Amino acid sequence: MVKNIADIRNLAICGHGSAGKTTLIDQLLVETGAVKGNPSVDAGTSVCDFDDEEKQHKHSIEASLVHLDHAGRHFNFLDTPGYPDLVGQMIGALRAVETALIAVDAHAGVKVNTRRAWAEAGSAGCGRIIVLTKLDAENVDFPALVASIKEAFGNGCIPLNVPIGTGDSLSGVVNTLMIPANVEGAVVDPRPIHEALVESIIEVDEQLMERYFAGEMPSDEELSQLMANAVAAGTLTPIVCVSAKKHVGIAELLDLLTLAALAPTAIARHALVNGDDVTLKPDPSAPLAAQVFKTRIDPFVQRLSFLRVYAGTLRRDAIVHAGDARKGVKLGALLEVQGGATHAVDEAGPGDIVAVAKCEDLHTGTTVGDVELPPISFPTPMVGLAVAPKNRGDEVKLSGALHKITEEDRTIHLEHDPETKEMVITGMSELHLLLTKERLKRRDHVEIETHEPKIPYRETVQIEADGSYRHKKQSGGSGQFAEVHARIYPFPEGADPVAFASKERFPQLKNTHYHKASNFLWVDTVVGGSIPGNFMPAIEKGFLERVKSGVIAGFPVQNVCVEVYYGKDHPVDSNETAFRIAASKVLAEIFKKAKPALLEPVVNLHISVPATNVGDVSSDLPGRRGQMVGMESSGGNMTTIEAKAPLSEVTTYARTLSSMTGGQGSFTMDFSHYDVVPGNVQHDVLSKAKLKEEED
């Protein structure tokens, strides 16, 4: 039966690793009677961390879905991993919810992935609530912690309760919205906080605000009713205090979520219908609009596609339109999910989150229904490994296993290198790829051998050059003949291809083709029919083959414009194959004349370290050809350093950073841009590429 959308609350719990997110969700499930017993991450009995790798590592690797009921509300929680390497799971989960519950370890404070979670939740349009965990830890400075949160995320972050004692003396929490008569033992006075809290709530209601500043205090009921509006508007980010270990603040957190977590109607969802932007109507009778935000393939090869329904009703065994599928897709059973367990349901309405089993046409990001929902944007993975099966004959098995993993994790990419015949997997980090390797062995029983991380270099040119190539082959009967004359130009990243290929630059311009993926532009200025027009597609194909295979070191070509301006053909021996070969060869010839260079990926680094280790990090960066861009205090004696460095220099940075900071440092990285490789480094890369070519 479709639930009342006003009673549904969807939340993703996010934050840095080891903040206690999974333990907190387990406690909420026990508190509400959704599960029995005493689930524990350490004991391997957690409801959310049910996968074998998660039990072994004692931390979340995938986002997991659970549900519970409290005070007339139905809550769906998505528990997300805290390691920056697994950020794709958090991004997918945030698409399916309206509220992000951001966990902050009260002892460790704001860390690098706390900031990432905050930013990603904002990008997804979610309301945000901060939950302070592990308040039973020693040496927790609550006022300093709150100050650091305000410094990081703004003054709208206000405690909705404060602890009574900390560490071993923690015994409860005091509400700052409805302050009780007895506040003895509270670590800070809740009354000044109450005033700031009231003002951030009433900011979303002009009439109430006018009454307040005229001296009339709003009632507790009015404030409670407006709290979710303030969270949605971003004028308020409630901070709540809990200790799962001491079972303090759990009931209060549930009550807060009942008031402050956003309903599915709180966020306007948009989609394209016949090319027009429309606002979806969260009505069970409206046209269907749902999206797959997560894919899981369990050890028994049961494919589960997790869907969030935004409008209309999804029914079991229904035939629906899904993504690019040319015909309707038949759904099987709909499943309500509780960690690793599932329960069949007949239908799901707006606000519901369900899974569909064994549907090969559903992929992460697929829209279900006659609408087009915005794609889910995942970060670009930058660290690669060439992989091969350890045992002969496992090539097909490995390929299938890797394709399953790329279905589950959109931050893992798989490529087949046509030159080396290698399979290359690319992920977010060494740890990310290590977890992938473990999964292959456990789930798919495939052991792999890996090569050193493959850096995605690119090849480009730095000056203009021209040249020609004649392809002539005679072997009895009809032969092959084609001659192509071309010029090559540097084509800067971000340049407008239309403006670049102007009549001013190319007076004889006839046609242009632009390939965005490689920022490659080719221009046709052939006049007088020296190359018949029917051979131009073959010339383009030859260019693209060379762009893909590279010239000087086997890396793809990027940021180049090639002009075809003259050529010759033969009435009998010219054909498409001849012109394709000639085009590929002439591009290689002129490329070598145009001061070729390697480009390397440069990444943005966001490094969180204790303040005492800032000097260590800043001293280490120059040796990695990196540079500091800036830094700021993260509170809790932590500093966040912003830097840039070539990817090749930081593929194993996690180990170094851990060593420098005694395990307290962490970092995230994301792609910034491509830059020219220095001469000495380029020489080393080219030498290794040449040696590998000789070995092959």
The CA distance from 469 to 620, in Å, is: 49
599, 458 Cβ separation under 8 angstroms = yes
Terminal Cα-to-Cα distance of the chain (whole angstroms)? 62
Model confidence over 235-247: pLDDT tens digits? 999 999 999 999 9
Interval 170-183 mean pLDDT: 92
Confidence bin at 326 (pLDDT 50/70/90): confident
The CA distance from 149 to 290, in Å, is: 35
Confidence bin at 299 (pLDDT 50/70/90): low
Cβ atoms within 10 Å, residue 293: 23
pLDDT for residue 636 is more than 70: no
Residue identified by tokens 């660290």 is 383
The CA distance from 46 to 302, in Å, is: 22
For the chain, counts of helices (H) and of strands (E):
17, 35
Consecutive H or E run containing 227? helix 220-233
Interval 14-43 mean pLDDT: 94
383, 307 Cβ separation under 8 angstroms = no
Q: Write down the pLDDT at residue 300.
A: 63
Interval 623-633 mean pLDDT: 93
> What is the topology classification, in CATH, of domain 270-368?
Elongation Factor Tu (Ef-tu); domain 3 (2.40.30)
pLDDT for residue 370 is more than 80: yes
pLDDT for residue 531 is more than 90: yes
Cβ atoms within 10 Å, residue 563: 24
* Cα angle 478, 482, 486; round to 5: 175
> Of 359, 341, 345, which is closest to residue 302 (Cα–Cα)?
359
CB neighbours of 144 closer than 8 A, spacing ≥ 6? 635, 636
Confidence bin at 273 (pLDDT 50/70/90): confident
Q: Write down the pLDDT at residue 92.
A: 97
Q: In degrees rounded to 5, what are phi and psi of residue 163?
A: -75, 150
Confidence bin at 655 (pLDDT 50/70/90): confident
Confidence bin at 653 (pLDDT 50/70/90): confident
Q: In degrees rounded to 5, what are phi and psi of residue 67?
A: -145, 155
pLDDT for residue 185 is more than 70: yes
Beta bridge partners of residue 348, listed in sequence order = 314
Q: Looking only at Cα atoms, what is the longest distance across the chain?
A: 104
Q: Write down the pLDDT at residue 63.
A: 96
Q: Write down the pLDDT at residue 552.
A: 93
The CA distance from 73 to 528, in Å, is: 76
Confidence bin at 231 (pLDDT 50/70/90): very high
252, 173 Cβ separation under 8 angstroms = yes
CA dist 285 → 271, 278, 315 (Å): 17, 16, 12
Q: Write down the pLDDT at residue 115.
A: 86
On whether the 5-266 domain is CATH 3.40.50.300, my answer is yes
The CA distance from 411 to 163, in Å, is: 39
The CA distance from 72 to 173, in Å, is: 24
Model confidence over 613-622: pLDDT tens digits? 999 999 999 9
Start and end residues for every CATH 2.40.30.10 domain found in the chain? 270-368
Model confidence over 139-149: pLDDT tens digits? 899 999 999 99
On whether the 463-594 domain is CATH 3.30.230.10, my answer is yes
Residue identified by tokens 């007088």 is 528
Pick the CATH number of 599-681 from 3.30.70.240, 3.90.226.10, 3.30.565.10, 2.102.10.10: 3.30.70.240
pLDDT for residue 445 is more than 60: yes
Q: Which residue has the higher pLDDT, 635 or 167?
A: 167
Q: What percent of the chain has pLDDT over 70?
A: 97
321, 271 Cβ separation under 8 angstroms = no
Interval 374-401 mean pLDDT: 87
90, 12 Cβ separation under 8 angstroms = yes
The CA distance from 344 to 329, in Å, is: 19
Start and end residues for every CATH 3.40.50.300 domain found in the chain? 5-266
Tell me the Cα Rg of the chain.
29
pLDDT for residue 2 is more than 70: no
Residue identified by tokens 């602890």 is 163
Burial of 89 (0-12, 13-18, 19+ CB in 10 A): buried
Cα 438 to chain centroid, rounded: 21
May I ask the CATH architecture of the domain 383-454? 2-Layer Sandwich (3.30)
Which of 113-117, 285-289, 385-389, 478-482 has the highest average model confidence (pLDDT)? 285-289
The CA distance from 121 to 104, in Å, is: 15
Burial of 161 (0-12, 13-18, 19+ CB in 10 A): buried
Quote the strand ranges of 45-98, DSSP E: 64-70, 73-79
Q: Minimum mean pLDDT among 72-81, 194-203, 322-331: which range? A: 322-331
Quick one: tokens of 89? 């799971």
Inter-axis angle of helices 206-213 and 190-202, to 10 degrees? 140
Cβ atoms within 10 Å, residue 468: 17
pLDDT for residue 260 is more than 80: yes
pLDDT for residue 637 is more than 80: no
pLDDT for residue 403 is more than 70: yes
489, 560 Cβ separation under 8 angstroms = yes
619, 500 Cβ separation under 8 angstroms = no
Cβ atoms within 10 Å, residue 150: 16
541, 484 Cβ separation under 8 angstroms = no
pLDDT for residue 696 is more than 70: no
Quick one: tokens of 165? 């004692």
pLDDT for residue 49 is more than 90: yes
Interval 604-616 mean pLDDT: 91
Model confidence over 125-140: pLDDT tens digits? 999 999 999 999 998 9
pLDDT for residue 301 is more than 70: no
Q: Write down the pLDDT at residue 431.
A: 83
pLDDT for residue 545 is more than 90: yes
Helix ranges (H only) for 58-157 are 87-95, 112-123, 142-153
Interval 608-635 mean pLDDT: 91
Model confidence over 458-514: pLDDT tens digits? 999 999 999 999 999 876 667 899 999 999 999 998 899 999 999 999 999 999 999
The CA distance from 581 to 241, in Å, is: 68
CB neighbours of 590 closer than 8 A, spacing ≥ 6? 465, 466, 467, 486, 487, 488, 562
pLDDT for residue 638 is more than 90: no
Mean pLDDT over the full length of the chain: 91
Quick one: tokens of 582? 């000639």
Indicate the DSSP class of residue 248. B
Indicate the DSSP class of residue 186. B
